[in-house]
Amino acid sequence: MKGTWKLKLRMLLTSVLMFTIVYFLIMLAGAYLGITSWRLYLGASLVIVFLQYWFGPSLVKRSMNVRPLSEAEAPHIHQMVQELADAAGVPKPEIGLSEINIPNAFAYGRSSRNGHIAITRPILGLLDRDELRAVLGHEMGHIKHNDMIVTAAVSVIPMICYYIALSFFFSGDSRNGGGFIIGMLGYFFYLVGQLLVLFISRTREYYADEASVEFGNRPAALVSALYKLSYGAARCSKQTIAEVNTNRAFFVNDVNNAQNDITDFKQIDFDGDGKITDEELRRLLNSDVKISSKNGLMELLSTHPDSLKRVKRLAELDN
């Protein structure tokens, strides 16, 4: 295994960059308004991050309509999660059932010691045991890596930049155009911040995949699960997808991109049976699988990695 040092380094550097951006913007706005105390900026930033960290899990639970899933209801799920938690070296997360109509799973919480894993009801009839365990292993990877803490912290930064931009655009105070310039900078940093948040999200997915394999799951089982989940999302109505759009980064795959993902997966589904075997994954390494430049560009705006790049990485872990 490659370990997680690259993940930690990327997370650290990106987080430092984002906090530098928002601190610079707040300092600039404060100087423009005649506020010079750095403690005010630091305190305001810490309060916003803390609120996101503390209330984030409750907001996710409510917005995704999650209820506790008892061991009596799904003993096999609890057994798999316990095995994965032991492999990850973290306490067993709380397990929930999300009453939404898209087959998927997601993790949330404040830390690896306070994790939650939720599955949606449609996933239970779609994946076999190995595929489901691989997906749960992916979510356990997010918990082990404490991805929720970093995500909670950095996701508020573009929002801060956006509201600074909004405030100065419509402040009605020209002062030689200084307010408008700060507004423009705020909006620019908002766009940059959004791209950096997406970059962090994609990085999280790669290493959660790797963690699932580290916990004893076959790469082909996870790839096959991603394939089936793409089919499941593609069958859902646009309204159903739109209802979870703001939370799609939590899912194991990007439900907005399901149809394109199916097209990609079909390139490696050599026998056309709708699932990916170990042999098909091995053949991928020596096959002419094309990743279009369009997909590469679209990946920059996606919460998840390009599906073929993701699968190729998993194929390499199988060797």
In this structure, which amino acid lies at residue 68? P
Supply the angle between the helices 129-144 and 178-214 in degrees, to the nearest 10: 130
Reference 122, options 216, 255, 3; nearest CA is 255
Q: Report how far residue 166's alpha carbon sits from residue 304's, in angstroms, rounded to the nearest whole number.
A: 29
Catalytic entry in 73, 99, 131, 139: 139
Residue pair 244/61 in contact by the 8 Å Cβ criterion: no
Strands in 115-120's sheet, in edge-to-edge order, are 66-68, 94-98, 115-120, 105-109
Active site residue 214: no
Q: Report how far residue 71's alpha carbon sits from residue 182's, in angstroms, rounded to the nearest whole number.
A: 54
Q: Report how far residue 210's alpha carbon sits from residue 207's, in angstroms, rounded to the nearest whole number.
A: 5
The catalytic site residues sit at 139
